[in-house]
Amino acid sequence: MVGDMTGRSTLLTNIGELTTNEPGLGRLRDAALVLEGERVAWVGEAAAAPLADEAVDVAGRAVLPGWVDSHTHLVFAGDRTAEFEARMAGAPYTAGGIAVTVAATREASDEELAATLARHLAEAARQGTTCVETKTGYGLTVADERRAARIAADVADEVTFLGAHLVPEGTDPGSYLDLVCGEMLDAVAGYVRWADVFCETGAFDEEQNARVLRAAADRGLGLRVHGNQLGRGPGVRLAVRHGAASVDHCTHLADADVEALAGSDTVATLLPACDLSTRQPLAPARRLLDAGATIALATNANPGSSYTTSMAFCVATAVLQMGLSVDEAVWAATAGGARALRRDAGDGAVGVLRVGARADVHVLDAPSVTHLAYRPGVPLTWAVWREGRRVS
């Protein structure tokens, strides 16, 4: 046995290629991994592996950390197929579609919202996603935002308050912001770790968002920003100035935005499935990496702008269309997401396979992570462990 950690242990042996995300290690050949309880207990050469309660021979397959999907909007009801069809026929994507989901979400019962969320989380888990952030933002009343936060907090790894998603129809923007910065934040604060804002034409401007971020920071919440999604604007600047953990989308960046990100701890979270579904250019991943910025890849799963839970699709797109190497894309979809959620360090870290990390493991039915881009669109997940328990 490995040591004095408690819990049943599982040895994954005969790993053909192991991506740990440990700096400088690269992909290890002929490796093994021991999970004990909820943690990784041992990583090394297969020939030197210790005994465990059970052994799983992965027969030369590739193993990597579970995907960390650091940006989703999964507390919702309703369907926007018609909007998607109109967009594919040439209509532009606008923030206005959010109101359709807000109306459907308010109508739905708690049970219906919880079941839809659980269904999407299970769909993601079957594809190798083991850590998910999700947001409120389709309620936009105190009661509906609190309900969304509560339902999300029951099942998601990370929950973010996005009351500043859109000014609800028929509401004065000033009074709505007063509500968001006061009563609404107070109502959700017990359920969420993060607050987010949507900084875009048609949503909220820099000053309005700065007000929300200050109010959230005053309550001890970490900050995130939706920025530069549909055009250049102040989103990245706002995020960096407020020390946000991430600025998400980053599709339209000026040189000053790239420099600001490179000189900060704010992660640029790129959402390629959203860029494609909204017929935007793909975010400048290569430019950001070359400048020294940290990037994450996430799905942005939501019924409007990006209805997919497939991190593998995001990775394949990043390699095939955005100029990343396979290793860079895999890192961004695992360790990069963990960094964006500030879960990359210490006991129980995610997005990494090292002793003491959370035992979140993704086994591909392929000999190498390269197959994620080499065989795009092919379901390659063979097995998944989350917190040491096999979930797929």
Site of interaction with ligand NIG (CB under 6 A) = 73, 97-98, 101, 198, 226, 229, 274, 300, 302, 304-305
CB atoms within 10 A of CB 236: 30
Residues whose CB is less than 8 angstroms from the CB of residue 40 and which lie 6 or more positions away in sequence, other chains included: 33, 34, 353, 354, 355, 356, 357, 358, 359
- Report the C-alpha gap between 30 and 49 in whole angstroms: 11
Residue with Cβ nearer ligand NIG (74 or 98): 98
71 annotated to bind ligand: yes
9 annotated to bind ligand: no
226 annotated to bind ligand: yes
CB atoms within 10 A of CB 15: 27
Residue with Cβ nearer ligand NIG (188 or 353): 188
Residue with Cβ nearer ligand NIG (12 or 274): 274
**Nearest one of 384, 341, 336, 389 to 364, comparing CA atoms:** 384
Closest separation between CB of residue 114 and ligand NIG, Å?
19
Closest separation between CB of residue 125 and ligand NIG, Å?
22
CB atoms within 10 A of CB 6: 9
Residue with Cβ nearer ligand NIG (98 or 179): 98
Closest separation between CB of residue 278 and ligand NIG, Å?
7
Residues whose CB is less than 8 angstroms from the CB of residue 249 and which lie 6 or more positions away in sequence, other chains included: 226, 227, 228, 229, 235, 269, 270, 271, 274, 283, 300
Closest separation between CB of residue 136 and ligand NIG, Å?
12
Are residues 299 and 311 in contact, defined by beta-carbon separation less than 8 angstroms? yes
Closest separation between CB of residue 115 and ligand NIG, Å?
19
Residue with Cβ nearer ligand NIG (127 or 302): 302
362 annotated to bind ligand: no
- Report the C-alpha gap between 335 and 130 in whole angstroms: 12
190 annotated to bind ligand: no
80 annotated to bind ligand: yes
Closest separation between CB of residue 274 and ligand NIG, Å?
5
Lookup: tokens for 49: 């592996």
Residue with Cβ nearer ligand NIG (42 or 138): 138
- 226 alpha carbon, distance to own chain's centre: 13
Strand ranges (E), 206-328:
222-227, 246-249, 267-270, 295-297
- Report the C-alpha gap between 383 and 392 in whole angstroms: 5
208 annotated to bind ligand: no
- Report the C-alpha gap between 175 and 135 in whole angstroms: 22
Lookup: tokens for 317: 């797109």
304 annotated to bind ligand: yes
Closest separation between CB of residue 62 and ligand NIG, Å?
31
252 annotated to bind ligand: no
By Cβ distance, which residue is nearest to ligand NIG? 304
State the sign of the Cα–Cα–Cα–Cα dihedral 284, 287, 290, 291: negative
Residue with Cβ nearer ligand NIG (161 or 198): 198
Q: Which positions make up the binding site for 4-imidazolone-5-propanoate?
A: 80, 138, 165, 229, 305
Q: Which positions make up the binding site for N-formimidoyl-L-glutamate?
A: 138, 302, 304
Q: Which positions make up the binding site?
A: 71, 73, 80, 138, 165, 226, 229, 300, 302, 304-305
